[in-house]
Amino acid sequence: MCDRFFVTDDAEIDYVDRNGAFTRRKIRTSEVYRYDDGVTVIRAYCKKREGWRTFVSKRVQYWKAGLSGEMVSPASLGDYLRKKSEGDPDQVAEDIYQEFIAEIACGIGSLMRYDENKSVDRRVITGQKKTALLNWVVTQGDAPALLDGLTADDRLNSRDALEELVVNTKVDDTSFSIGKRTMRNKRSSAQKKALIEFVSGALEGVPARDSAVGLLKDEILTPSFKVEPQKEIEGDKVVLPFETLQEEEVAEIKAEAKEKPKTTRRRRKSKTKKTAVDYRGFARKDAIYTLTVAETKRLLGARLNAGNMVFDKELFHSEVSSLVMSLLTPEEVKDEGELLQHKINHGISLGYCAWGIKKKDQGWYVDENGREVLDLRNSNTNS
């Protein structure tokens, strides 16, 4: 698995590149990919090269934290940076967003369900409903504790980052359905009740409130049940099969990724920090992530409908990777360089999260033959 996170750390490093050339550099980290096998890939602004560069932990010979002077062993670099990310406002926003992704999808889907100005296919949230959803999310679960660990200014920045994530969340029928199934299968009665009460309050005065709240109750409070592949159920729909991405959809995803990210941030203190914020904004809406998540969910659903519940994880990763590569032009592959596979790996991880597949729930494990396998019987969507 690939764990991507944001962290800002000024450091002086000794680095040996792929050609064996040795350099000493001063860098500021921004984005990190940490793998289960111990390899950590770091995206950082290199002051020596005056640009963004990618560093691999196994090629780092020396790491000295710029502010504290702490010496960090390359072998423990991933753990060090992950721990440090707990104080990064962007990562706190990411952690809150991932913890409540099901609630956010259900919130957007329910609040915008009867909005005449929103597309049924890809709902987004704006205005007072957006503010209400944000105000509610930051009071739930571990969110208050995560935010309380930040300085006052960083709490504001973290909320800004969370707002960007929510504003850029597009909820279609599939993600809405996955969110509802996750709420039904994996959330406590208190968590379900809290979401229903929020939606009811946020729709105060809206004519369709009773219908929206009633449907949500039916969809997340109904006991889980089995469905036959390819069948529809009144008020709910089998999540799959997903349709193959059409050429125009791929083009739209790529075009949106190139647009300047929506931002509400006003508390930037320096040009360097502004550069990092802009970089992270583009990183969040990267086309590779979006395409990979879509293909991951589609292929998982195809296996679910076919009754193929347990299958080889490595082969599945290769299949997703090949499909994503086929959606890219040779120029796009070249431009991505060595980051391409790391982005695909993280996109697959995001697809697992959206599907409710987690290692701690035996979503994947090593079987009796020594293969690492995925097990859809242990996912949130296997209702």
In terms of Cβ atoms closer than 10 Å to its own Cβ (0-12, 13-18, 19+), residue 1 is middle
Looking at the domain assignment, is residue 363 inside a domain?
Answer: yes
Count other C-beta atoms under 10 Å from residue 200's C-beta: 17
> In terms of domains, do 216 and 311 share one?
no
Is there a single domain that holds both residue 71 and residue 122? Answer: no
The distance from CA 259 to its chain's CA centroid, rounded to whole angstroms, is 19
- Enumerate the β-bridge partners of residue 374: 311, 364
For the entire predicted model, the pTM comes to: 0.72
303, 309 contact by CB (below 8 A): yes
Query: At a CB cut-off of 8 Å and minimum separation 6, what does 152 contact?
Result: none
| Cα-trace Rg, the chain | 21
Residue where a domain terminates, one of 54, 84, 114: 84
Domain match, 117 and 201 both: yes
Domain at 329, CATH number:
1.10.10
Statement to judge: residues 107 and 202 lie in one domain: yes
DSSP state of 123: B
pLDDT in tens, the chain (383 residues): 778 899 988 999 999 988 899 999 999 999 999 988 888 999 999 998 889 899 999 999 999 987 788 899 988 999 999 999 988 999 999 999 988 999 999 999 998 876 655 544 556 788 889 999 999 999 999 999 999 999 999 999 999 999 988 988 888 877 888 888 889 887 899 999 999 999 999 999 888 899 999 999 998 986 543 333 333 333 343 444 456 777 777 787 778 777 655 554 544 444 445 455 555 666 667 889 889 988 898 888 888 878 899 999 999 999 999 999 999 999 999 888 878 998 899 889 888 877 778 877 788 888 898 899 999 888 766 65
Cis peptide bond N-terminal to 241, omega within 30: yes
> Torsions phi, psi of 311, nearest 5?
-155, 165
Whether 170 and 209 map to the same domain: the answer is yes
Q: CA–CA separation, 352 vs 357, rounded Å?
A: 5
Token couple for 154: 């960083």
- Transcribe 278-289 into DSSP letters: HHHHHHHT-HHH
* CA-to-CA separations, 136 to 101, 197, 202, in angstroms, rounded: 13, 11, 10
| Sequential DSSP letters for 125-180 | --HHHHHHHHHHHTTSTTHHHHHHTS-HHHHHHHHHHHHHHHHT--B-HHHHHHHH
Domain count, the chain: 3
Mark whether 141 and 213 lie in a shared domain: yes
For residue 269, being part of any structural domain is answered with: no
For residue 339, being part of any structural domain is answered with: yes
Joined tokens for residue 310 = 């347990």
Q: Of 84, 99, 132, which residue sits at a domain end?
A: 84
Residue 114 is encoded by which pair of tokens?
A: 């009867």
pLDDT at 222: 61
State whether 338 and 350 are in the same domain: yes
Q: Does 363 share its domain with 290?
A: yes
Rounded to 5 degrees, φ, ψ at 290 are -60, -45
Does residue 23 fall inside a structural domain? Answer: yes
Tell me how long the chain is: 383
332 in the same domain as 292: yes
Q: What are the tokens at 262?
A: 């929506």
Q: Are residues 80 and 102 in the same domain?
A: no
C-alpha–C-alpha distance, residues 355 and 365, integer Å? 17
Burial 111-125 (b: 16+ CB within 10 A, else e): bbbebeebeeeebbb
Question: What is the domain extent for residue 369?
Answer: 247-253+285-378
73 and 137 share a domain? no
Residues 169 and 206 reside in one and the same domain: yes
Residue 237 lies in a domain: no
279 part of a folded domain:
no
Residue 28, beta-bridge partner list: 10, 45
The pLDDT, as a whole number, for residue 320 is 94
Cβ(77)–Cβ(63) below 8 Å: yes
Tell me, yes or no, whether 383 lies in a domain.
Answer: no
Domain end residue (candidates: 84, 118, 146)? 84
Check residue 181 and give its pLDDT.
83
In a domain, 145, yes or no: yes
Strand, helix or coil at 278?
helix
